[in-house]
Amino acid sequence: MSGDPGKGAGVRTRLAMLARLAEPITWDIVVIGGGATGLGCAVDAAARGYSVLLVEARDFAKGTSSRATKLVHGGVRYLAQAQLPLVREALAERARLLDNAPHLVHPLRFVVPAYRFRDKPMLAAGLGLYDLLAGRRGIARSQVLDAARTVAALPTVQPRGLRGGIAYWDAQFDDARLALALARTVADLGGVALNYCPVTGLILEGGRVAGVEITDAETGARFKVSGRAVVNATGVWADDVRRMARADAPRMLKPSQGVHLVVDAGFLPGKDALLIPQTDDGRVLFMIPWQGKCLLGTTDTPRSDRPLEPEPLPGEIDFILETARRYLVRAPSSADVRSIFAGMRPLIGAGDASLTRQLSREHLVDVSAEGLISVLGGKWTTYRLMAEDAIDVAQSLARLPKRYSGTADLRLHGALAGSMDPYGSDREALDRIQGAGVRLMQDASLTEAEVRYAVRAEQARTVEDVLARRHRALFQDARVAQALAPAVADLMADELARDADWVATQVAEFSALADHYLPPS
The answer to whether residue 94 scores a pLDDT higher than 50 is yes
The answer to whether residue 96 scores a pLDDT higher than 60 is yes
Whether 405 and 478 map to the same domain: the answer is no
Partners of 112 in the beta sheet?
Answer: 166
Whether 153 and 297 map to the same domain: the answer is yes
Higher pLDDT, 142 or 356: 142
Q: What is the largest CA-CA distance in the chain?
A: 71
Give the CATH number for residue 75.
Answer: 3.30.9.10
pLDDT digits (tens, 9 = 90+) for 13-42: 999 999 999 999 999 999 999 999 999 999
Residue 33 lies in a domain: yes
- Residue 358: its pLDDT value, please? 42
- Residue 285: its pLDDT value, please? 94
Query: Which candidate, 453, 272, 518, 235, places its Cα nearest to that of 363?
Result: 235
Q: Please, which pLDDT band fits residue 327 given cuts at 50, 70 and 90? A: very high
Q: How many domains is the chain partitioned into structurally?
A: 3
The answer to whether residue 352 scores a pLDDT higher than 60 is no
Residue 300 lies in a domain: yes
Give the CATH number for residue 229.
Answer: 3.50.50.60
Whether 183 and 164 map to the same domain: the answer is no
Domain that holds residue 80: 67-172+254-358
**Mean pLDDT across 324-347:** 96
CA 282/CA 166 separation, integer angstroms: 19
Mean pLDDT, the chain, rounded, equals 95
CA 182/CA 419 separation, integer angstroms: 18
Percent of the chain with pLDDT over 70: 97
The answer to whether residue 361 scores a pLDDT higher than 70 is no
Whether 138 and 271 map to the same domain: the answer is yes
pLDDT digits (tens, 9 = 90+) for 273-282: 999 988 877 7
- Residue 80: its pLDDT value, please? 78
CA 121/CA 86 separation, integer angstroms: 24
Residue 268 lies in a domain: yes
* CA-CA-CA-CA dihedral for 510, 511, 516, 517, to nearest 10: 80
Q: Please, which pLDDT band fits residue 219 given cuts at 50, 70 and 90? A: very high
82 and 373 Cβ atoms separated by less than 8 Å = no
201 and 212 Cβ atoms separated by less than 8 Å = yes
Whether 72 and 165 map to the same domain: the answer is yes
φ, ψ of residue 274 in degrees (nearest 5): -115, 130
Beta strands per DSSP E along 142-284? 143-145, 164-173, 192-194, 199-205, 208-215, 222-232, 256-264, 273-276
Residue 146 lies in a domain: yes
Whether 265 and 232 map to the same domain: the answer is no
Last residue of a domain, one of 338, 358, 378: 358
How far does CA 415 lie from the centroid of its chain?
A: 17
Pairing of strands 26-32, 301-302: unpaired
Whether 106 and 237 map to the same domain: the answer is no
- Residue 355: its pLDDT value, please? 37
- Rounded to two decimals, the pTM is 0.96
pLDDT digits (tens, 9 = 90+) for 256-292: 999 999 999 999 999 999 999 888 777 889 999 999 9
Burial (0-12, 13-18, 19+ Cβ within 10 Å), 111: buried
- Residue 3: its pLDDT value, please? 58
Whether 393 and 318 map to the same domain: the answer is no
- Residue 82: its pLDDT value, please? 84
CA 495/CA 296 separation, integer angstroms: 36
Q: In whole angstroms, how far apart are CA 79 and each of 74, 86, 348?
A: 9, 9, 19
Residue 415 lies in a domain: no
Which residues, other chains included, contact 503 with Cβ-Cβ below 8 Å and sequence gap of 6+?
A: 486, 489, 490, 493
The answer to whether residue 98 scores a pLDDT higher than 70 is yes
Whether 153 and 195 map to the same domain: the answer is no
Whether 347 and 374 map to the same domain: the answer is no
31 and 54 Cβ atoms separated by less than 8 Å = yes
Whether 229 and 242 map to the same domain: the answer is yes
Span between the terminal Cα atoms of the chain, in Å: 45
Pairing of strands 52-55, 26-32: parallel
- Residue 354: its pLDDT value, please? 39
Percent of the chain with pLDDT over 90: 91
- Residue 457: its pLDDT value, please? 97
Residue 418 lies in a domain: no
pLDDT digits (tens, 9 = 90+) for 457-514: 999 999 999 999 999 999 999 999 999 999 999 999 999 999 999 999 999 999 999 9
pLDDT digits (tens, 9 = 90+) for 168-201: 999 999 999 999 999 999 999 999 999 999 999 9
How far does CA 125 lie from the centroid of its chain?
A: 31
**Mean pLDDT across 111-121:** 95
Residue 1 lies in a domain: no
Whether 164 and 187 map to the same domain: the answer is no
Residue 393 lies in a domain: yes
Helix (H), strand (E), coil (C) string for 119-133: HHHHHHHHHHHHHHH
- Categorise residue 131: left if φ over 0, alpha if ψ from -120 to 50, beta otherwise: alpha
The answer to whether residue 364 scores a pLDDT higher than 60 is yes
